[in-house]
Chains A and B, each alone.
Chain A
């Protein structure tokens, strides 16, 4: 699938950008934070590291084509769901519902995506899993915090499995004149969301005044959000050469995806706060978990998927 010139350009550009970003990070670190005492530099470095990881994984899985990417995202879903359900309310009565979520619902969803059975993978988690898993739990007869238990499990499935699976689902969208290049849609989504995330951080530092959600996060400000959303539109427009959306379409999708990604990050950090943890997991020391790294991308994926599907197929 990597036969078109766009991939070569992108791969080189990504490599160059990451090298420059890493170099800047190393310089900043040796100047300001040789002992890891400067939190902003450390946060920047951990982002760079996870981007290297993402770029390498995407590239590697891309070599194996659509199936490779679907397997990659299924594994990421698994790791993310494990982080999510480690924190949710559960009792012994939910044991088989949880086993089913991991070993039946998750693989079936990705097989449906692989089969490109749109009608089924769009409703499998929100309809079938939603109605079936509470049945598995209720048969054990334990009603203590029942609604909380089934609702939180369903939330984990919706984010980590349903929303996440819409990223590889982009690979099968039949867009006329764009055949064989669908991986660029995934790259568009990931790039816009990640860059908007950085922009909101930087813009929040520079002219952030009013918090976006007072009491949750002082580093996320309204000013940062608006600047980053606009930046998403600009970045989207800048990437229009590699999309089938046209200039206006790319800008509009960039705006939407950036705004959703930022809000997704906010929603998921509210859940972390509610559960009393700082990170979702411990993927690598100091880097948080899979959900910490991918929250915005996953949150924006289903809407991006549907907009592209209705607008361009």
Chain B
């Protein structure tokens, strides 16, 4: 009970801090923010990424939307574990297939079946290069195949890579925006590579709509 309150307050404080720092703005250029269950898939350049997606969602949706994050990062210290498990209620997946006990796809499907929406970073790791997005991992495809009715909404996060680049602690205040596009679904007979490339193209297209 107490832990729940502390987590809620910490969550609100983090969202408020992100807003003060980045004046983050959600741009719904495809679908609107509705109560439909969704998987938001976004570009990944900074550990602050999902906080921004979280911050621009209306509060009613925010608490039903869980980021999918790496257990090897979020379980390394008690503070991170509290943030990951209790504040953001992340679906923590193990990125190492050799030793993992849970299958990431079934973890995501379980979360969806419980009624949550998800924030997914299909690049799998933070993009440090000059390409707008790395090739997508297959998780998004498996979710789309197993739960074809769920909307997959691309979300392009602008500028966060400059706010807290990898390895930095001190943030630079810069304007950020999250641009949401049209929902996509797996097409009849579409194979994995085609689908993943189409999803990646839909995401990158949002970055070119331009104008921070």
Residues in chain A within 8 A of chain B (CB atoms): 78, 82-83, 85-87, 90, 92, 95-96, 98-99, 102-103, 276-278, 281-282
Contact status B173-A95, CB under 8 Å: no
User: Given A95-B168, A281-B23, do A82 and B211 touch, yes or no (CB 8 Å)?
Assistant: no
Contact status A99-B174, CB under 8 Å: no
- The verdict on B165 contacting chain A, using a C-beta distance below 8 Å, is yes
- Tell me, in angstroms, the Cα distance from A164 to B211 when the chains sit together: 25
Contact status B165-A87, CB under 8 Å: no
Contact status A98-B172, CB under 8 Å: yes
User: Given A82-B175, A102-B173, do A276 and B165 touch, yes or no (CB 8 Å)?
Assistant: no
- The verdict on B210 contacting chain A, using a C-beta distance below 8 Å, is yes
User: Given A86-B174, A282-B23, do A277 and B162 touch, yes or no (CB 8 Å)?
Assistant: no
- Tell me, in angstroms, the Cα distance from A277 to B166 when the chains sit together: 27
Residues of B contacting A83 in the complex (Cβ-Cβ under 8 angstroms): 175
With beta carbons under 8 angstroms apart, the residue of B25, B165, B211 that contacts A92 is B165
Residues in chain B within 8 A of chain A (CB atoms): 23, 25, 159, 162, 165-166, 168, 170-175, 210-212
Contact status A86-B159, CB under 8 Å: yes
For the complex formed, measure the closest distance between the CB of B83 and the CB atoms of chain A, giving whole angstroms.
23
For the complex formed, measure the closest distance between the CB of B92 and the CB atoms of chain A, giving whole angstroms.
28
Contact status B23-A95, CB under 8 Å: no
With beta carbons under 8 angstroms apart, the residue of B159, B165, B210, B212 that contacts A95 is B165
Residues of A contacting B165 in the complex (Cβ-Cβ under 8 angstroms): 92, 95
Residues of B contacting A90 in the complex (Cβ-Cβ under 8 angstroms): 162
Q: A90's closest neighbor in chain B, by CB?
A: B162
- Tell me, in angstroms, the Cα distance from A82 to B21 when the chains sit together: 9
Contact status A82-B168, CB under 8 Å: no
Q: B170's closest neighbor in chain A, by CB?
A: A99
State the main secondary structure of chain B at its contact with A: loop
Residues of A contacting B175 in the complex (Cβ-Cβ under 8 angstroms): 82-83, 86, 281-282
Q: A92's closest neighbor in chain B, by CB?
A: B165
Q: How many A-B residue pairs have CB under 8 A?
A: 41
For the complex formed, measure the closest distance between the CB of A289 and the CB atoms of chain B, giving whole angstroms.
8
For the complex formed, measure the closest distance between the CB of B37 and the CB atoms of chain A, giving whole angstroms.
29
Interface-centre pick from A78, A86, A99, A276 (highest chain B CB count, 10 A): A86
With beta carbons under 8 angstroms apart, the residue of A99, A276, A277, A281 that contacts B172 is A99
Contact status A276-B210, CB under 8 Å: yes
User: Given A78-B173, A282-B25, do A277 and B168 touch, yes or no (CB 8 Å)?
Assistant: no
Interface-centre pick from A90, A95, A276 (highest chain B CB count, 10 A): A95
Contact status B168-A86, CB under 8 Å: no
- Tell me, in angstroms, the Cα distance from A19 to B172 when the chains sit together: 40
Interface-centre pick from B171, B172, B211, B212 (highest chain A CB count, 10 A): B172
Some 16 contacts from A to B, beta carbons below 8 A apart, are: A78-B173, A82-B23, A82-B173, A83-B175, A86-B175, A86-B212, A90-B162, A92-B165, A92-B166, A95-B168, A95-B172, A99-B171, A102-B173, A276-B210, A278-B211, A281-B175
For the complex formed, measure the closest distance between the CB of A297 and the CB atoms of chain B, giving whole angstroms.
21
Contact status B159-A276, CB under 8 Å: no
Residues of A contacting B162 in the complex (Cβ-Cβ under 8 angstroms): 90, 95, 98
| Pairs of residues from A and B, 6 with the lowest C-beta to C-beta distance, nearest first | A86-B175, A98-B172, A86-B174, A92-B165, A82-B173, A277-B211
- Tell me, in angstroms, the Cα distance from A85 to B170 when the chains sit together: 16
For the complex formed, measure the closest distance between the CB of A269 and the CB atoms of chain B, giving whole angstroms.
15
Contact status A85-B174, CB under 8 Å: yes
With beta carbons under 8 angstroms apart, the residue of B166, B170, B174, B210 that contacts A82 is B174
